[in-house]
A and B are shown apart, each in its own frame.
Chain A
Amino acid sequence: MRLGYLIREGFRSITTHGFMSFATVAIIVACLIIMGSVSLLSLNIDAMIKDLEDQNEIVVFVDESLSDEAAARDLQRNIEAVDNVASVQFVSRGEAMNSFMSKYDASLMEGIDEEVFRHRFVVHLNDIAHMSQTKADLEAIRGVAKVNAHLDYAKSFVTIRNVVTVVSMVLIVMLVFVSFFIMSNTIKLATFGRREEIAIMKMVGATNSFIRLPFVVEGLVLGIMGGCIAFLATWGLYNLVTGRVVGSITGTLLNVIPFRNVALQVFVVYMAISVLVGVFGGVNAIKNYLKV
Chain B
Amino acid sequence: MVVMQNVRKVYESSNTVALDNVSLTIEDGEFVFLVGPSGSGKTTLMKLITGEVRPTSGRVVVNDFDMGTIKRRRLPKMRRTLGVVFQDYRLIKDMNVYDNVAFAMRVVGTPNREIRTRVPYILELVGLEGREKRMPGELSGGEQQRVAIARALVNSPRMIVADEPTGNLDPVRSLELMLLLEKINEMGTTVVVVTHEKELVNAFSKRVITIDSGEMTGDTSEGEYYDI
Contact = CB atoms under 8 A, between A and B. Distances in A.
A21 to B, nearest CB: 13
Contact of A210 (B78, B92, B107): B107
Interface stretch (B18-26, B108-116, B125-133): B108-116
A199 B90 contact: yes
Given A205-B76, A205-B77, A205-B79, A200 B92 contact: yes
A5 B94 contact: no
Contacts of A70: none
A52 to B, nearest CB: 60
B134 interface: no
Interface in B157-198: none
Contacts of B77: 205
A2 B106 contact: yes
B112 A1 contact: yes
A197 interface: yes
Nearest to A4: B112
A203 B112 contact: no
Interface residues of A, number: 18
Given A1-B112, A2-B106, A201-B107, A207 B92 contact: no
B52 A292 contact: yes
A207 B76 contact: yes
A187 to B, nearest CB: 19
B43 to A, nearest CB: 14
A202 B111 contact: no
Given A199-B90, A200-B90, A200-B92, A205 B108 contact: yes
Interface in A24-64: none
Interface in B85-111: 90-92, 94, 103-104, 106-109, 111
Contacts of A206: 76, 107
A248 interface: no
B90 A16 contact: no
Nearest to A16: B94
A292 B108 CA distance: 18
A115 interface: no
B111 A203 contact: no
A203 B79 contact: yes
Most B C-beta atoms less than 10 A away, residue of A205, A207, A292: A205
B59 interface: no
Contact of A197 (B92, B112, B151): B92
Nearest to B108: A205
A290 to B, nearest CB: 9
B197 to A, nearest CB: 23
A162 to B, nearest CB: 53
Nearest to A12: B94
Contacts of B50: 203
A210 B78 CA distance: 16
A277 B52 CA distance: 31
B80 A205 contact: yes
B106 A203 contact: no
A199 B50 CA distance: 12
B84 interface: yes
A36 B109 CA distance: 44
B164 to A, nearest CB: 15
A196 B111 CA distance: 26
A144 to B, nearest CB: 77
A240 interface: no
A204 B112 contact: no
A159 B198 CA distance: 85
A16 B93 CA distance: 10
A199 B91 CA distance: 11
Contacts of A292: 52
A12 to B, nearest CB: 9
A45 B112 CA distance: 60
Nearest to B113: A1
A16 B78 CA distance: 31
B149 to A, nearest CB: 13
Interface of B: 50, 52, 73, 76-80, 82, 84, 90-92, 94, 103-104, 106-109, 111-112, 151, 155
The 10 closest A-B pairs by CB, nearest first: A205-B80, A205-B79, A204-B104, A206-B107, A205-B76, A16-B94, A207-B76, A203-B84, A2-B109, A200-B90
30 contacts: A1-B111, A1-B112, A5-B106, A197-B92, A200-B90, A200-B92, A202-B79, A203-B50, A203-B79, A203-B84, A203-B90, A204-B79, A204-B80, A204-B84, A204-B103, A204-B155, A205-B76, A205-B77, A205-B78, A205-B80, A205-B82, A205-B104, A205-B107, A205-B108, A205-B155, A206-B76, A206-B107, A207-B76, A208-B73, A210-B107
Given A204-B103, A205-B104, A205-B107, 7 more contacts: A1-B112, A200-B91, A200-B92, A204-B79, A205-B76, A205-B82, A207-B76
